[in-house]
């Protein structure tokens, strides 16, 4: 009876997900194999077209670098901020970091234009206040850096919340015990904090990666459909394909992107959540089994990893 | 603390009261409007009524006066508005071989005709204004400069000359008083008062001495926009009369505005909305109400109006009573069989709305809805509007007919969303053989035809034949300008903003930069950038800031005006004064050709001698490899998923008919109406314009007044225009996205913030991405 009730509660949500997520997804996959997105079946022709498309490749390259640089920087900066904020007694300070999250993209685009335009406030300060040369923020590598900064500025508060929830889950007693054992501030972070926030790290990485695609809103509002080559992203390709009604390219590109993201998420999951120490020892046990060492293990009743480790240390292997 | 609480509660109470008072006020202004829910009924139509000179009532009969040519007046009279008695009142006026403009006809207190007319001189100016009276068969010459409106009330007559309303004693023999009313929309009179309506207020004047008694702005405040649009539309069929305001009873006025019929009680301040375009089907935008008669009790008797729908003059009854007419059953059946189509254009266009009205009137079995992506006030971006359209098309619920201007025809064609239109072209060819097939087939490919342009624009060089014969490219144009002395006012081509230069020059290069097959020529892009800068710099260097300011003050900012073509050509009327010799413009509509011919003949008002100063003018269509370029406009496509394909086809075919192509429509900023491609329509349209008299206006250059004729003055000119349209061979492929990409970089480039190489590199990169997408 308990199980039946639970299913009933899940059902409305599932119907919503089925209609609004799964069905369109299946439709997109179907269209990616059709001529013009609605004609005859053409196999992987659309995928070939997309993969050989220069604009798509440029967008993939730009997206890759944007994700790598911005997500890594965001993770690092937000973690440092979170640890500091977590240790602070004044809880109000963490809300300050949430303010950028509340700024609508349109407003941010307007403010950024005022600030960073060629004759904007920042250049005015640089030229008139600091007697430096003006910087063209909306061109070349500068525009890339500007949007990496924008992404970090906007998402730091969001990431901080996830980090802090992870930090709260670490029992304070461990820190106190480490302190008694003579561990310093950085040792505590390295050996207690970081190993205990792996799950938060995984969630933060995935969400940051997904959010890095959302910077398109600001990009689009500031630079339009055809921005500087350095910030031309996958969403520009998709958006422009839709405007040209090239549904086939759009669908194939979307499916490819989804697959790549899925693979990347799996890789990140494996990289972050796997207990690599256990894995290595498991590999070592396998090695023993193959070399006859397992008989020794059986004889000495080495039944656990810990036992194998102790045996290694004893035998100085 | 207690004090703070007290202050806060007082503030909140004050705010609350303000809100209450505010709400109450708005309620008050709304509450004095009653909606009476009138309906309209077609009573009859006039087959041969041309210009409507007057609509009035005498005793129980309704009288309509129509003009035919210069001398003949037709009098139609009826009791019920259904059956009419027609009398020809001819040769009543002594013309002495002069051109007579019949302006207004009314009835005096005895039912005798009073005819207001103007005598026109050789130069097109008004020589005298006169009134002819049937009572004694005599004419009286008035002191007025023109007759903009004439009414008779009892034994008094009133003439409005565009500045003043002049009241005359019986028989128009003696002036009684005059009322200043330069911005008037309409006026009417009763026994005690003369009421003048303008955009801001209703002014009431004493009938005794013409002194102002009262000003009322309640009605005008509520219907300011409607009054303004009514005034703006009064220039349509300018030779016919137009009654906007009438007395119903001592204190009650009736208003026939563009969007609704209203009554207003001056003493009670009570407004009644008889019908409007929101709640009822009042009238189409292109319809004209010339005049109406209304009894003392509007609710029982209704209003009988003389209207025009698509040139057909009709009698319409507006009433809240159910009226049974003979063909009602038929119309109900028709309604049941009616199919409905939706026409979409990316930009709102007044011309589209007017064309749709004509179509609806002539095809009652097809209901047409007009929708658009962007209007001047919506603030929607092009890509948002296109996204919205594409979403509808992919969902299979898009519009039936799509006006492709601003959209990429090839993209929509390749997506499979457009219907193949070869059969439509064949049908048009059969029905309208004088349509230019070459232009209609501009978008024909091996796969068929998916879009058909119904109008064209073309870039021309206007100037003395000897001067422009050797100007074949931008270099020679620049050389020519450099060889000329700077004009006395402004620059040589009247280009004061870079957008103006860009918009004329870009179409010439557009197809060479990226052709219709998507082949991109980088060298042409660079050449375009260089030539654009050379031409712009040359023009701006010959211009002072004061001249730029003066131009903007006179003609408006480039981005906010519909077109500057006529403004660019205007100084050519008097080239001795202006010093301007040539114009480099895009002919976006027929009126610009009328302007050219008016300049060529430069009829100087007030002078009896023929002006030969501009006889050497000619216009040359811009060519590419010897072929005359043209820009297709009002391009029609049909949604392949439309559920009303037959109706959509009929609509598209009708857009090429003489009914549609002969008309001149209102201008819009983004979607230009273009020049017709139906040659018969040009001839018929011109004949109709000539039948109306000599429509047009006056242009003043250097103190001289010149005539602007809104028609082709003679057959040779019209044939020359037709020949030019026939010679258009090379369609220009203007891709809106490419244009936008280039345009975005041009401002910095022309203002010197970016060099030609940097600009070229940036545009080149973006275009490569666009083309490789």
- Which chain B residues have a beta carbon less than 8 Å from that of A249? 773
Among partner residues B387, B416, B737, which is closest to A38 by beta-carbon distance? Answer: B416
Q: Which residues of A touch B (CB under 8 A)?
A: 36-39, 53-56, 58, 118, 224-226, 229, 232, 237, 239-247, 249
* Cβ proximity of B257 and B244 under 8 Å: yes
In the predicted model, what is the mean pLDDT of chain A? 87
User: Looking at A190-199, B34-43, B56-65, B110-119, which range is the least confident one?
Assistant: B34-43
pLDDT value at residue B563: 81
Q: Give the rounded percent of residues in chain A with a pLDDT score beyond 70.
A: 90
Query: B381: nearest CA in chain A?
Result: A224
Output the CA torsion sign for A180, A183, A184, A185.
negative
Q: Give the mean pLDDT of B551-580.
A: 86
- Which chain B residues have a beta carbon less than 8 Å from that of A237? 773
User: Predicted confidence band at B362 (pLDDT cuts at 50, 70, 90)?
Assistant: confident
* Higher pLDDT among residues A245 and B68, named by residue: A245
Residue B13 has pLDDT above 90, yes or no: no
Q: Which residues pair with B403 in a beta bridge?
A: B345, B636
Q: A226, A239, A253: which to substitute to probe chain B, counting the most B Cβ within 10 Å?
A: A226
- Give CA separation, B51 vs B2, B101, B102, B229, B262, in Å: 79, 11, 9, 22, 26
- Which chain B residues have a beta carbon less than 8 Å from that of A39? 416
Q: H or E stretch including A237?
A: helix A234-243
User: Predicted confidence band at A51 (pLDDT cuts at 50, 70, 90)?
Assistant: very high
Instruction: Determine, for residues B411 and A244 on separate chains, whether the beta-carbon distance falls below 8 Å.
Output: yes
pLDDT value at residue B300: 61
Instruction: Determine, for residues A246 and B411 on separate chains, whether the beta-carbon distance falls below 8 Å.
Output: yes
* Higher pLDDT among residues B401 and B26, named by residue: B401
Alpha-carbon radius of gyration of chain B: 29
Residues B436-463 have pLDDT tens digits of 999 999 999 988 999 999 999 999 999 9
The closest of B602, B622, B621 to B613, measured between CA atoms, is: B602
Among partner residues B383, B411, B773, which is closest to A245 by beta-carbon distance? Answer: B411
Instruction: Determine, for residues B390 and A243 on separate chains, whether the beta-carbon distance falls below 8 Å.
Output: yes
How many beta carbons lie within 10 A of that of residue B324, not counting itself?
8
- Give CA separation, A139 vs A143, A222, A228, B248, B720, in Å: 5, 12, 6, 69, 52
User: Predicted confidence band at B251 (pLDDT cuts at 50, 70, 90)?
Assistant: confident
Token pair 């889950």: residue? A169
Instruction: Determine, for residues B753 and A246 on separate chains, whether the beta-carbon distance falls below 8 Å.
Output: no
User: Predicted confidence band at B97 (pLDDT cuts at 50, 70, 90)?
Assistant: low
Output the CA torsion sign for A302, A306, A308, A312.
negative
Hey, is the C-beta of B415 within 8 angstroms of any chain A C-beta?
yes
The closest of B125, B578, B576 to B567, measured between CA atoms, is: B578
From CA A50, how far away is CA A253, in angstroms rounded? 6
Among partner residues A58, A118, A243, which is closest to B769 by beta-carbon distance? Answer: A58
Residue B769 has pLDDT above 50, yes or no: yes
Q: A224, A244, A252, A253: which to substitute to probe chain B, counting the most B Cβ within 10 Å?
A: A244
Instruction: Determine, for residues B769 and A229 on separate chains, whether the beta-carbon distance falls below 8 Å.
Output: yes
Query: B741: nearest CA in chain A?
Result: A226
The closest of A254, A246, A242, A234 to A37, measured between CA atoms, is: A246
Distance from CA of A138 to the nearest CA of B (A): 12
- Which chain B residues have a beta carbon less than 8 Å from that of A232? 769
- Which chain A residues have a beta carbon less than 8 Å from that of B753? 118
User: Predicted confidence band at B29 (pLDDT cuts at 50, 70, 90)?
Assistant: very low
Among partner residues B386, B394, B769, which is closest to A247 by beta-carbon distance? Answer: B394
- Which chain B residues have a beta carbon less than 8 Å from that of A243? 383, 386-387, 390, 737
Among partner residues B390, B415, B741, which is closest to A226 by beta-carbon distance? Answer: B741
Instruction: Determine, for residues B772 and A55 on separate chains, whether the beta-carbon distance falls below 8 Å.
Output: yes
In the predicted model, what is the mean pLDDT of chain B? 84
Residues B743-768 have pLDDT tens digits of 989 998 998 888 999 999 999 999 99
Hey, is the C-beta of B407 within 8 angstroms of any chain A C-beta?
no
Query: A221: nearest CA in chain B?
Result: B381
Q: Which chain B residues in 366-395 lie under 8 Å from chain A, judged by CB atoms? A: 383, 386-387, 390, 393-394
Among partner residues A37, A55, A242, which is closest to B387 by beta-carbon distance? Answer: A242
pTM: 0.71
User: Predicted confidence band at B23 (pLDDT cuts at 50, 70, 90)?
Assistant: very low
- Which chain B residues have a beta carbon less than 8 Å from that of A27? none
pLDDT value at residue B650: 95
Distance from CA of A47 to the nearest CA of B (A): 14
pLDDT value at residue B25: 45
B470: buried, middle or exposed (CB in 10 Å: 19+, 13-18, 0-12)?
Answer: exposed
Distance from CA of A34 to the nearest CA of B (A): 12
Instruction: Determine, for residues A37 and B415 on separate chains, whether the beta-carbon distance falls below 8 Å.
Output: yes
From CA A20, how far away is CA B522, in angstroms rounded? 45
Q: Give the mean pLDDT of B518-535.
A: 93
From CA B761, how far away is CA B773, in angstroms rounded? 18
Residues B196-215 have pLDDT tens digits of 998 888 999 988 888 888 88
- Give CA separation, B314 vs A95, A167, B50, in Å: 71, 83, 12
Among partner residues B386, B394, B769, which is closest to A232 by beta-carbon distance? Answer: B769
**Who's near B84: CB < 8 A, 6+ residues apart?**
B44, B46, B64, B76, B77, B78, B315
Widest Cα–Cα separation across chain A: 82
Instruction: Determine, for residues A53 and B772 on separate chains, whether the beta-carbon distance falls below 8 Å.
Output: yes
Q: Give the mean pLDDT of B312-320.
A: 83
The DSSP call for residue A131 is -
Residue A87 has pLDDT above 70, yes or no: yes
Q: B386, B637, B769: which to substitute to probe chain A, counting the most A Cβ within 10 Å?
A: B769
- Which chain A residues have a beta carbon less than 8 Å from that of B768? 54
Hey, is the C-beta of B755 within 8 angstroms of any chain A C-beta?
no
* Cβ proximity of B583 and B569 under 8 Å: yes
Distance from CA of B391 to the nearest CA of A (A): 9
Instruction: Determine, for residues B417 and A245 on separate chains, whether the beta-carbon distance falls below 8 Å.
Output: yes
Query: A35: nearest CA in chain B?
Result: B415
* Higher pLDDT among residues B13 and B182, named by residue: B182
- Which chain B residues have a beta carbon less than 8 Å from that of A54? 768-769, 772
Residues B640-689 have pLDDT tens digits of 999 999 999 999 999 999 999 988 887 777 888 899 999 999 999 888 87
Instruction: Determine, for residues A247 and B415 on separate chains, whether the beta-carbon distance falls below 8 Å.
Output: yes
Distance from CA of B616 to the nearest CA of A (A): 48
Instruction: Determine, for residues B769 and A54 on separate chains, whether the beta-carbon distance falls below 8 Å.
Output: yes
The DSSP result for B659-689, as a single string, is HHHT------SSS--BEESBHHHHHHHHHHH
ipTM of model over 0.85: no
User: Predicted confidence band at B7 (pLDDT cuts at 50, 70, 90)?
Assistant: low
Residue B27 has pLDDT above 50, yes or no: no
């Amino acid at each position: 009876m308990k199980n039946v009730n639970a299913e009933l509660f899940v059902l409305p949500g599932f119907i919503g997900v089925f209609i609004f997520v799964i069905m369109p997804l299946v439709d997109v996959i179907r269209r990616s194999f059709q001529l013009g997105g609605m004609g005859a079946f053409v196999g992987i022709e659309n995928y070939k077209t997309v993969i050989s498309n220069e604009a798509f490749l440029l967008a993939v390259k730009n997206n890759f670098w944007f994700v790598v640089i911005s997500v890594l920087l965001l993770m690092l900066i937000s973690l440092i901020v979170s640890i500091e904020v977590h240790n602070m007694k004044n809880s109000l300070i963490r809300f300050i970091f949430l303010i950028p999250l509340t700024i609508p993209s349109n407003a941010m685009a307007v403010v950024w234009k005022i600030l960073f335009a060629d004759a904007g406030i920042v250049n005015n300060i640089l030229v008139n206040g600091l007697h430096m040369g003006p910087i063209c923020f909306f061109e070349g590598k500068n525009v890339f850096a500007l949007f990496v900064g924008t992404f970090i500025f906007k998402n730091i508060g969001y990431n901080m919340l996830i980090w802090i929830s992870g930090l709260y889950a670490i029992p304070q007693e461990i820190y106190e015990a480490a302190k008694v054992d003579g561990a310093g501030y950085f040792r505590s972070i390295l050996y207690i904090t970081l190993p205990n926030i792996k799950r938060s790290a995984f969630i933060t990485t995935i969400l940051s990666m997904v959010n890095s695609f959302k910077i398109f809103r600001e990009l689009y509002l500031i630079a339009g459909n055809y921005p500087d080559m350095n910030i031309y992203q996958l969403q520009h390709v998709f958006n422009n394909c839709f405007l040209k009604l090239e549904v086939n390219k759009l669908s194939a590109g979307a499916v490819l992107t989804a697959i790549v993201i899925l693979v990347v998420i799996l890789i990140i999951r494996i990289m972050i959540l796997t207990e690599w120490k256990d894995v290595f020892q498991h590999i070592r046990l396998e090695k023993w089994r193959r070399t006859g060492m397992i008989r020794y293990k059986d004889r000495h009743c080495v039944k656990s990893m810990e036992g194998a480790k102790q045996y290694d240390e004893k035998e100085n292997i | 603390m207690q004090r703070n609480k007290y202050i806060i509660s007082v503030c909140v109470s004050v705010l609350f009261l303000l809100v209450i008072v505010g709400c109450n006020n708005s309620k008050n202004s709304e509450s004095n409007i009653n909606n009476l829910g009138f309906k309209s009924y077609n009573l009859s139509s006039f087959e041969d009524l041309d210009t409507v000179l007057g609509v009035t009532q005498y005793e129980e009969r309704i009288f309509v006066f129509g003009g035919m040519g210069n001398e003949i007046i037709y009098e139609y009279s009826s009791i019920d508005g259904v059956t009419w008695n027609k009398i020809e009142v001819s040769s009543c006026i002594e013309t002495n071989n002069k051109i007579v403009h019949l302006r207004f006809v009314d009835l005096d207190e005895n039912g005798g005709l009073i005819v207001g007319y103007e005598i026109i001189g050789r130069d097109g100016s008004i020589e005298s204004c006169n009134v002819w009276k049937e009572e004694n068969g005599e004419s009286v010459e008035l002191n007025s400069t023109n007759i903009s409106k004439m009414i008779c009330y009892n034994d008094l007559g009133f003439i409005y000359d565009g500045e003043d309303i002049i009241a005359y004693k019986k028989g128009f023999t003696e002036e009684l008083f005059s009322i200043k009313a330069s911005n008037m929309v309409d006026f009417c009179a009763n026994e005690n008062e003369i009421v003048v309506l303008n955009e801001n207020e209703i002014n009431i004047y004493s009938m005794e001495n013409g002194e102002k008694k009262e000003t009322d702005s309640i009605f005008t405040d509520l219907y300011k926009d409607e009054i303004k649009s009514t005034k703006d539309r009064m220039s349509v069929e300018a030779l016919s009369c137009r009654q906007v305001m009438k007395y119903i009873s001592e204190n009650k006025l009736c208003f026939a505005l563009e969007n609704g019929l209203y009554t207003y009680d001056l003493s009670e301040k009570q407004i009644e909305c008889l019908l409007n375009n929101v709640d009822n089907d009042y009238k189409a935008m292109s319809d004209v109400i010339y005049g109406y008669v209304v009894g003392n009790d509007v609710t029982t008797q209704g209003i009988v109006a003389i209207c025009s729908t698509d040139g057909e003059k009709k009698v319409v009854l507006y009433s809240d009573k159910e009226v049974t007419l003979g063909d009602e059953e038929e119309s109900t059946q028709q309604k049941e069989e009616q199919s409905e189509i939706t026409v979409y254009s990316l930009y709102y266009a007044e011309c589209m709305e007017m064309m749709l009205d004509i179509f609806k009137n002539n095809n009652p079995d097809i209901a047409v809805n007009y929708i658009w992506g962007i209007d001047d006030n919506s603030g929607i971006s092009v890509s948002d509007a296109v996204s919205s359209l594409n979403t509808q098309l992919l969902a299979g619920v898009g519009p039936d007919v799509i006006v492709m201007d601003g959209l990429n025809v090839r993209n929509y064609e390749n997506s499979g969303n457009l219907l193949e239109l070869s059969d439509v072209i064949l049908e048009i060819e059969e029905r309208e053989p004088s349509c230019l097939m070459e232009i209609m087939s501009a978008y024909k490919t091996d796969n068929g035809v998916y879009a058909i342009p119904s109008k064209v624009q073309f870039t021309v060089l206007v100037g003395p034949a000897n001067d422009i014969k050797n100007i074949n490219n931008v270099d020679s144009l620049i050389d020519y300008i450099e060889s000329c002395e700077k004009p006395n006012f402004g620059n040589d081509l009247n280009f004061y903003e870079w957008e103006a230069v860009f918009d004329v020059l870009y179409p010439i290069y557009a197809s060479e930069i990226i052709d219709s097959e998507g082949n991109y020529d980088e060298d042409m892009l660079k050449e375009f950038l260089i030539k654009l800068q050379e031409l712009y710099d040359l023009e701006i260097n010959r211009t002072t800031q004061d001249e730029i300011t003066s131009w903007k003050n006179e003609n408006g900012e480039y981005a906010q005006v519909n077109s500057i073509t006529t403004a660019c050509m205007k100084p050519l009327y008097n080239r001795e004064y202006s010093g301007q010799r040539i114009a480099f413009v895009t002919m976006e509509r027929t009126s610009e050709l009328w302007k050219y011919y008016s300049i060529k003949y430069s009829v100087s008002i007030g002078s009896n001698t023929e002006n030969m100063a501009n006889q050497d003018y000619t216009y040359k269509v811009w060519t590419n490899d010897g072929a005359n370029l043209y820009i297709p406009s009002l391009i029609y496509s049909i949604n392949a998923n439309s559920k009303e394909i037959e109706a959509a086809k009929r609509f598209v075919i009708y857009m090429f008919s003489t009914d549609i192509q002969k008309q001149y429509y209102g201008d819009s900023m983004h979607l230009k109406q273009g020049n017709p491609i139906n040659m018969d329509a040009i001839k018929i349209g011109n004949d109709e314009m000539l039948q109306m008299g000599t429509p047009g206006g006056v242009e003043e250059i250097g103190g001289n007044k010149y005539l602007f004729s809104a028609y082709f003055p003679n057959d040779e000119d019209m044939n020359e225009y037709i020949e030019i349209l026939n010679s258009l061979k090379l369609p220009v492929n203007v891709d809106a996205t490419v244009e936008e990409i280039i345009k975005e970089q041009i401002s910095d480039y022309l203002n010197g913030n970016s060099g030609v190489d940097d600009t070229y590199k940036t545009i080149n990169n973006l275009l490569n991405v666009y083309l490789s997408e």
